[in-house]
Amino acid sequence: MRTRTFVLPAAAAVALAVSGVPAGTAAASAVGRPDRPGFCSPSASLLGFSDALDKSEVSGTAVSGLSALGLDGRGRAVALVDNIGTTPARIVEFSLRRGRNGLDVAASGATTLKRPDGTPYNGGDFDGEGLVIERGGRTVLASSESEPSIRRFRRGDGGQSAELPVPERFRVAPAGQAARNQTFESLAASPDGRTLYGGMEGSLAPDGPGAVRILSYRGRPGGAYEPAAQYAYRTDASLGLVELVALGDGGLLALERGFTAGVGNTVRVYRASTRGARDVTDVGSLRDEPGAALRKEPVVDLVDCPPSGATARQPQPNPLLDNVEGMALGGPASGGRRVLYLVSDDNGNAAQITRVYALSVRLGRMS
């Protein structure tokens, strides 16, 4: 596939200052730091983005609805497709490389995810939202927020080989206390693969707005996992928890996202930690334990990044923004930082864009 690349030269960032972008948005931030091209925050800079996957096809299927992102360490990425109609559930593979001319992205294949009997899952019973590529790269764990569920699939043929247990209260009501379309939106594995984190997008009924739970599992890659603890996480007002990255030693990156009609998207990344945090498994309502929420510190608000030539097909406070749902941590960047990749979900909608982003982020210890 022919790729389109986008880079951020310093001159372009300065030019954006007179392009009509409202004060306080990305352009103003970039102009305020001419020594730091791509400056978004003290902890993050935009390295580039690509729209190469937008409205494309691979292996006879649309590259659309990308709701989770994983990296296999060999320059390849895997994205999980969510529930677009009754199309087959699938993962999409693509190359993802940073070059001198920006971010190069090209789709290479798609694999249908199948039930144990070999028939495909589809949008009617599988709403793929979280993804982990297990160590060795031969299997993936995928969360669906339909029930919810976490299942293991073979990367080669898409066949299901296992399913993890989910506590009853996390089930969608009336089977449990979760709301429809507000369950396991995120899934992450610690660097050693021994701990999984499944994050709820929204609150359980007793917990109240903005108080969400992260369910941790203990086990081994390719083997069994069992629920081990629950942690409370408080999102910003009107935002949902849509992705997690596990950093090791209990550290997490949390992606929060929201949408306001006529205004656009909000996309924020926070640093959090479960180290020393309270296990709220036995807490009936998080309303009763407001101090139990994980402490969090901001890494980046995407609205503060320079637009860098991005365009939007619907109102956005910064044309760089779209419906970002996937996040994965890449290799080293300059200055001791790491590359953080994001991907947006176009929902199969002509007014939205499938966009892949690369940022340089600082991941020091929380203060």
Average pLDDT for 307-324: 98
Is the domain spanning 10-361 CATH 2.115.10? The answer is: yes
pLDDT tens digits along 115-124? 999 999 999 8
**What residue ranges do the domains of the chain occupy?**
10-361
Q: Would you state the pLDDT for residue 32? A: 33
Write down the pTM of the prediction. 0.91
pLDDT tens digits for range 12-28? 332 322 233 333 333 33
pLDDT digits (tens, 9 = 90+) for 195-213: 999 999 999 999 999 999 9
pLDDT of residue 86: 85
Q: What is the 3-state secondary structure (H, E, C) of the chain?
A: CCCCCECCCHHHHHHHHHCCCCCCCHHHHHHHCCCCCCEEECCEEEEEEECCCCCEEECCEEECCEEEEEECCCCEEEEEECCCCCCECEEEEEEEEEECCEEEEEEEEEEECECCCCCECECCCCCEEEEEECCCCCEEEEEECCCCEEEEEECCCCEEEEECCCCHHHCECCCCCECCCCCEEEEEECCCCCEEEEEECCCCCCCCCCEEEEEEEEECCCCCEEEEEEEEEECCCCCEEEEEEEEECCEEEEEEEEEECCCEEEEEEEEEECCCCCCCCCCCCHHHCHHHECCEEEEEEHHHCCCCCCCCCCCCCCCCCCCEEEEEEEEECHHHCEEEEEEECCCCCCCCCCCEEEEEECCCCCC
Residue 228 has pLDDT above 80, yes or no: yes
User: pLDDT at position 36, please?
Assistant: 77
* Per-chain mean pLDDT for the chain: 90
Give residue 100's pLDDT band: very low, low, confident or very high (50, 70, 90): confident
